A and B are shown apart, each in its own frame.
Chain A
Amino acid sequence: MPASRHFCQKVPQATPVAVFKLSNDFKEDPNPMKVNLGVGAYRTDEGQPWVLPVVKKVEKLIVADNRLNHEYLPILGLPEFRSSASKIALGEDSPAIQESRVGAVQCLGGTGALKMGAEFLRRWYNGNDNMKTPVYVSAPTWENHNSVFANAGFKDVRPYKYWDAEKRGLDLDGFLGDLETAPKHSIFVLHACAHNPTGTDPTHVEWMQVAEVMKRRKLFVFFDSAYQGFASGCLDKDAWAVRNFVTQGFEMFCAQSFSKNFGLYNERVGNLTIVARDADNVRRVLSQMEKIVRVTWSNPPSQGARLVAITLNRAELFAEWKDNVKTMADRVLLMRASLQAKLQALGTPGTWDHITQQIGMFSFTGLNPKQVEYMIKERSIYLMASGRINMCGLTTKNIDYVAKSIHETVVNVQ
């Protein structure tokens, strides 16, 4: 019997990724009242995906331009995409950019950027191929963070305290405490803004406290920026933490995603921004990044990067984009305010201020697994077992149903 008949025999069935299973179950639910508050993608008030008007415009430009072709991009990606994407994160007038100590790698979405950063760190950070360097991810965090770093070879991926379930806010003491006791040179994955899944961000003062400990204890800063623009509606405001850390003199990585703020989910547009001590370090780092890219995907896909580069580099298009981003952020803010008001009006037990205090696409409702199960089974409202809801799943048409359902759930299920 050929070898291949043997080896696949032992391949076990893997458990499906939770968030996709949820979407699947939602699809198959026949209840006309069903609501999907699961996967993190923007929806309009009609509950539809939204291709940004500026994206439609630029796509037409691309199709009409006969000079464009489908040739390979350089290994590190489209140069005008990389530089303009880094500017978005760091600010046009960033001292790091002016001092030529910023590099970038175009990657397959935010995931790809995290992956490249993780692979590089495993090979070159804290020694060579040091798989024992602890990698800290927030408790809770986007579930794929664990897998990305584990698959890059890191043997010690641990949680740092972040979410305080009781007070439904940031556990600052716990966070700072973990920073103080982390082994030197540990890697910390920080959410730049609109923390996924809690929607709870440190304040400016709290960020500065985090920075002080990280600097003193020589911890590595790895920002995950998947929602720039989505938190407050303002790109610069949302980049405050990243830029502050640059001002503080950190060398760091920032994984950027343009999936949400450009609505380009399936084109896999991401950027790994690298801030180093000087241009020479950047140069050497990028040369090694090339090696990693080459054995993973050779070079990145061109369509999405082209689209973003054109948009960011033309004033009217850039302005239109910022406007589109604000439209999305504003609708989310409206749904937050609306849900909170309705729960308050219903007299739903507990406090619901966290709905409006939390920021970005997600809200950690505080519903426990039993209550979540009730919501799904009895009300056909689909949310993550953690109690995370995607605010974008709410619309003016379903918000009453959702509010009433939460009320009923909290009252009847403990």
Chain B
Amino acid sequence: NHKTLETSWLAFLASDVHPPHDWSSISWWSEVQMGPPDPILGVSEAYKRDTNPKKINLGVGAYRDDQGKPYVLSCVRKAEAQIAAKKLDKEYLAIGGLGDFTKACAKLALGDDNEVIKSGRNITVQTISGTGSLRIGANFLSRFHTEARDVYLPKPSWGNHTPIFRDAGMQLKAYTYYDPKTCGFDFQGALNDISKIPEKSVIMLHACAHNPTGVDPRPEQWKEIADLVKKRNLLVFFDMAYQGFASGDIDRDAWAVRYFIEQGHNIVLSQSFAKNMGLYGERVGGFTVVCKDAEEAKRVESQLKILIRPIYSNPPMNGARIAATILNTPDLYKEWLGEVHGMANRIITMRELLVANLKKEGSTRNWKHVIDQIGMFCFTGLKPEQVERLTKEFSVYMTKDGRISMAGVTSGNVGYLAQGIHAVTK
């Protein structure tokens, strides 16, 4: 069908049958199909259109305070004031971004004293938040990791992982991760699948606060995974979009990343500061390649620049400058750690409140996973039909896979949310 359209369109364009004056009524874009709304961001747009005063947006992972309002971190406001006072110019950043930012970004992930940073064998570039980082990573692997085209994602994974890697020319496969029966981690299933992944394939691991399930491996489990991945000779791609948001502790949340490196995996790593610094729209992220040595890092850096330049030339300054100021100013850094902890805590409290309210509604289902899961998201276990009802009848907006952003839950709306969830699951 698609091919027929294409063929007839090409035939039409090639022909000189249509009279010359007619050209102005034909559009180049007649055959361009209407694209479907984005599965995640489209949820927010649908929410905006809803006029129900009780509506709740549990779609995109954007933190809200207990009044349901966006939260600009106090350390961010302070950093902004400091920056404004400096009266800096607006000259282009280097292709790889702001040095003060990239250095601090790497230290945050790997730890100040990490041997990798000391020996200069990492290259860290500033990217357009997490998406931009993953895309640069995907492009880099596509161009240089020619021995394997396959990227293994956990089942399920963030919805945008697949189209990003696909668009970069990689092939997507999956390994078992989530157990719908327990709403928890299918550890044996994961090990089983990983043991069969062909050598040199890329394996994507969520560093912490797995999106969408909120289910993370325990440290002992991470150790076994690291071991198996080494045996299978796989290339590890860590996606760390929620450092600080899982446990409230920056170092704890980076444990898996650091452990793998310690064990000798030269990983690639994507970081986002959208959530943990609330810098969503400023697009602050980093992409790191851990190399054999500093010389290799230099070569890799030169190639990353070649990849970046034809996409956007060099990255935006504002957010990176804010992040760098916070990371490099001791009292702002301390304040930031406190605020991240606060955000993580509010989410944990909401998890407990939701379960309590569900019980109050009379739900007899097991909701333990709501409390066991970690980070911004909760994989409720709701099926697509139930999600649809929840949206249509209660104006509760979430993604079809049953994922809700706990950050959108408040003490003001948790009762109504419990009502709705109970209604569609009883």
Contact = CB atoms under 8 A, between A and B. Distances in A.
A301 B233 contact: no
B370 interface: no
Contact of B80 (A63, A112, A249, A287): A63
A115 B312 CA distance: 7
Given A2-B233, A17-B305, A51-B90, A10 B144 contact: yes
Contacts of A20: 94-95
Interface string B259-281: 00000111110000010001111
A155 interface: no
Interface string A1-33: 111111111111111110010000000000000
Interface size class of A (residues with CB under 8 A): 35 or more
Interface string B113-143: 0000000000000001111100100000000
Interface residues of B, number: 97
A111 B309 CA distance: 8
Contact of A148 (B9, B135, B310): B310
B17 interface: no
A73 interface: yes
Contacts of B10: 126-127
Contact of B282 (A3, A60, A302): A302
Interface string B227-241: 000100111100000
A268 B29 contact: no
Given A2-B264, A4-B266, A301 B319 contact: yes
B27 A277 contact: yes
Given A2-B235, A287-B34, A297-B128, A72 B280 contact: yes
B12 to A, nearest CB: 11
A11 B163 CA distance: 25
A285 interface: yes
B128 to A, nearest CB: 4
Given A4-B265, A71-B62, A184-B13, A300 B29 contact: no
Contacts of A290: 35, 38
Contacts of B46: none
Most buried by B among A115, A184, A295: A295
A300 B311 CA distance: 13
A294 B162 CA distance: 11
Most buried by A among B14, B72, B265, B310: B310
A267 interface: yes
A67 to B, nearest CB: 10
Given A13-B299, A151-B311, A297 B132 contact: yes
A276 to B, nearest CB: 6
A299 B281 contact: yes
B35 A291 contact: yes
Contact of A304 (B20, B26, B274, B318): B318
Contact of A71 (B30, B167, B280, B305): B280
Contacts of A281: 27, 29-30, 32
A267 B90 contact: yes
A246 interface: no
B371 interface: no
A261 to B, nearest CB: 13
Contacts of A377: none
A283 interface: yes
Contact of A4 (B41, B267, B311, B319): B267
A183 B282 CA distance: 42
Contacts of B355: none
A74 interface: yes
A5 B236 CA distance: 11
A236 interface: no
B279 A265 contact: no
B45 interface: yes
A69 B70 contact: yes
A237 interface: no
A148 B417 CA distance: 47
B414 to A, nearest CB: 22
A323 interface: no
Contact of B132 (A12, A185, A296): A296
B302 A13 contact: yes
A70 B128 contact: no
Interface in A181-218: 184-185, 215-216, 218
Contacts of B299: 8, 11-14
Most buried by B among A11, A15, A17, A276: A11
Contacts of B200: 3, 6-7
Contacts of A16: 302, 305
Given A124-B32, A276-B27, A9 B235 contact: no
A298 B241 CA distance: 14
Interface in B13-72: 13-14, 20, 23-35, 38, 41, 45, 60, 62, 70, 72
A184 B11 CA distance: 13
B282 A70 contact: yes
Most buried by A among B33, B41, B299, B311: B311
B157 to A, nearest CB: 14
A4 B232 CA distance: 12
B2 interface: yes
B70 A144 contact: no
Most buried by A among B27, B131, B163, B201: B27
Given A51-B87, A249-B24, A288-B35, 9 more contacts: A2-B230, A2-B265, A49-B89, A124-B31, A144-B313, A150-B310, A277-B26, A281-B32, A284-B34
The 4 closest A-B pairs by CB, nearest first: A4-B266, A108-B312, A277-B27, A302-B281
13 contacts: A17-B309, A70-B278, A70-B279, A71-B70, A71-B280, A107-B312, A124-B31, A218-B13, A249-B24, A266-B314, A281-B32, A284-B34, A301-B318
Interface of A: 1-17, 20, 39, 41, 48-49, 51, 55, 59-60, 63, 69-75, 107-109, 111-112, 115, 124-128, 144, 147-148, 150-152, 184-185, 215-216, 218, 220, 249, 251, 259, 263-268, 276-278, 281, 283-285, 287-288, 290-291, 294-304
Interface of B: 2, 6, 9-10, 13-14, 20, 23-35, 38, 41, 45, 60, 62, 70, 72, 76, 80-81, 84, 87, 89-95, 128-132, 135, 144-148, 160, 163-164, 167, 199-201, 230, 233-236, 264-268, 274, 278-283, 289-292, 296, 298-300, 302-303, 305-306, 309-319
